[in-house]
Structure 1
């Protein structure tokens, strides 16, 4: 798994000397340019590395997105195994052919009811859900207004859509209003609910007001809000009173708080029906594996039964933030369960993460071009199951291994 989850800048690794590359390709390796591109990234401290983890890793995890500690919950893994035994290892086809099971339908109904929406549609990933929503809910001549801090999947969805896209400054409803003032046609504002780099929350109430005033729709990616924010973890839109509101659509992932894999779009039933008919990442993709659907369904039932898990995740993030800032580190105040700690440079962030790992602590390492502001940082995720002692130890390790200039 790569260090980063974003691709905000859209930077390319392809060298600019196309003529040289073409000459080199004649009679040689047409992919030779990738060696030079990697060498360039190496010099900039931007080479990524895959680190397969062991099933019983001894590291304290502040990097994964299992916010509620459900990925290994026996009810969740048991449901995954039972679904695989009953339905098979794979869904066997697209959702419109053989890829829809009773589990998919049950999960969609439960997700919609829990989050407060009329209907839901499950996809093979949260990425696919975002691409579906952005390409199927726009049209030529329409307008997408996208927050500068949005996740790579939202950025790519905007690029693939047939609508024009205007990127506005981060978390700025006034900027959204100015763009919409000059557009009289179909428009869709797009934002994360909780931004996955810094962990700050979008001003959803103000954005919804702007959209209503301009006749625009609002699409919110609640990947980092579901399970952590709102009453009993029902998500950021539920917390803002926007769940089920006209003109509002949400996307979620099943791979974070629900500890499984997959994604979903939630909204009015007629919008979901439109996606079934038109969304290419739904129509042409193999359906979510039954094991993942069964696991997500079991996890959702635990979240309903144990709402204190969401409170514990938020409390863990708050404690980490307090300890890190008390140590003089530049940490972002978490609005959910993500904490960002700034590093002086990309190579510093890589070394910092490596020293944490050597000390028994797994942290995320985010660097350009995967961060929208170009600032390298450690990215920490708080989990409901972490004890105060573990959190204190983790904060101490991060502070002790901090590079010069991190404070």
Structure 2
């Protein structure tokens, strides 16, 4: 069977496209932070990970423009060779300062960060422990390791303990967990995970893609939120959420990051972050420091949205963060509700298998610090009207 025949057997997406309920790859014609234009019509954007609302901040835009004209549009090479600018070095220093670590290392994307760190550090004879709802980049990084991979049910720390117990004391053990789980909006029980890693001589890496900027007194993520920054060996973060850009990083001990610089294939064999993207993150770090009220407003709006949805009768699971899953159930009902909300001017993200179980399909809301109370009211009104119309509530 050739590739054309093989691929032509996949028909599900074309069937949904033909039905008029296809929700993916929708071209956005213009973006105005909390609102976007699609098909000439304005939609309230509650599907973006732009938590701090910095994609249109005047200072961020100006810094990006300056870097564009100083360095050009791209580095045209990897960090290992000609793709390291003084901006990359400055950013790594600022990130290490934010995270309270010895060092930080910037990758081209968050996905490549997890891929490179995990596949490089877990070798033959080593053991890797993952929550089953960890991000796909962690799962894919684990698929490249030569060690043994253990997976435990989401949040089942008794299962994690049994797995740690069964591994020889002399083996290297690394636990990797999301800080905030991207489809559930819940926060990892880091105090309990830290206790287990200390008890069984394991080390801990936290994926803070959805935590940096959001959790912690200064936005330093999950470990800072729990006061456990000194207990986490490595923290991974992305720039495509709170930092309004693209890229990723890992922060931790200098000796480990030095090793990664010279061994992580996803770093060495990828072109580095473009100058304007790096400058955007540097500017976002500055704004986060001098405008802490953004984080306060994000949490105020989050609590309003959570309480509003629950009062309407929607199931939002165990969300504790600006990520709010609205569980609909079956795939067909979820597509219908997504389309009705979209037509009503609300942009959400439908989440389908394999990301979630077939009976747990959902619409994923994520809020920005720059949303207004009027936005929240309009979104809740749309959910109420559509939910009743199609008998979800």
**TM exceeding 0.5:** yes
1:217 and 1:248 in contact (8 A); partners too: yes
* C-alpha separation in 1, matches of 2:376 and 2:16: 35
Matching residue within 19, 24, 35 for 2:8 = 35
1:236, distance to aligned residue in structure 2 (A): 1.1
Residues paired across the two proteins, number: 379
Q: Per the alignment, in what secondary structure is the counterpart of residue 347 of structure 2?
A: strand
Match of 1:157 among 141, 144, 158: 141
* Partner Cα distance (2:357, 2:200) in 1: 28
The answer to whether 1:167 aligns with 2:142 is: no
The residue correspondences of 1:1-400 to structure 2 (distance < 5 A) are 22=1, 25=2, 30-39=3-12, 42=15, 49-56=24-31, 57=37, 58-184=42-168, 185-245=171-231, 248-371=233-356, 375-400=360-385
Query: Residue 344 of structure 1: CA displacement?
Result: 2.4
CA deviations over 1:197-223 (Å, ceiling 9, x no partner):
010000011101101111111111001
C-alpha RMSD of the superposition = 1.9
TM-score normalised by L of structure 1? 0.89
CA contact (8 A) 2:331 2:358 kept: no
Q: Give 2:392's aligned residue.
A: 406
Unmatched runs of 5 consecutive residues or more in structure 2? 32-36
Report deviation, 1:355: 1.2
Following TM superposition, by how much is the alpha carbon of 1:333 offset from its aligned partner in structure 2, in angstroms?
Answer: 4.1
The C-alpha deviation readout for 1:166-218, integer Å capped at 9, x for no partner, is 11011122221110101021111111000000100000111011011111111
In structure 2, distance between residues paired with 1:244 and 1:253: 20
Query: Do 1:343 and 1:405's aligned partners in 2 also have CA atoms closer than 8 Å?
Result: no
Question: CA offset at residue 406 of structure 1?
Answer: 2.8
Q: Any conservation in 1 of the 2:330–2:358 contact (CA below 8 Å)?
A: no
Query: Which whole-Å deviations, capped at 9, do the CAs of 1:325-382 have from their partners, x for residues lacking one?
Result: 1001111343221000011211221221111111111111111122267621000001
State the TM-score, normalizing by the size of structure 2.
Answer: 0.92
Q: Please say if residues 329 and 358 of structure 2, whose CA atoms lie closer than 8 Å, have aligned partners that are also in contact.
A: no
The answer for unaligned runs of 5 or more in structure 1 is: 1-21
- Contact (CA 8 Å) 2:22, 2:335: kept in 1 or not? no
| Cα distance per residue 1:272-309 (max 9 Å; x no partner) | 11110111111111111111000000001100111121
- 8 Å CA contact 1:118–1:244 kept in 2: the answer is no
Write the distance in 1 (CA, Å) between the matches of 2:12 and 2:192. 45
- CA 1:49–1:399 in structure 2 vs 1: closer, same or farther (change >3 Å)? same
**How many Å apart are 1:388 and its aligned residue?**
1.6
Deviation at 1:148, TM superposition (A): 1.0
Matches of 2:6 and 2:23, distance apart in 1? 18
Secondary structure of 1:144 counterpart: strand
Query: 365-374 vs 140-149, which deviates more?
Result: 365-374
Task: Give the SS at the match of 1:95.
Answer: coil
Comparing 232-241 and 211-220, the one that deviates more = 232-241
- Gap change, CA 1:128 and 1:34, over 3 Å in 2: same
In structure 1, C-alpha distance between the alignment counterparts of 2:64 and 2:117, rounded to whole Å? 27
Deviation at 1:405, TM superposition (A): 5.4
Please tell me whether the aligned partners of residues 192 and 202 of structure 1 are also in contact (alpha carbons under 8 angstroms).
yes
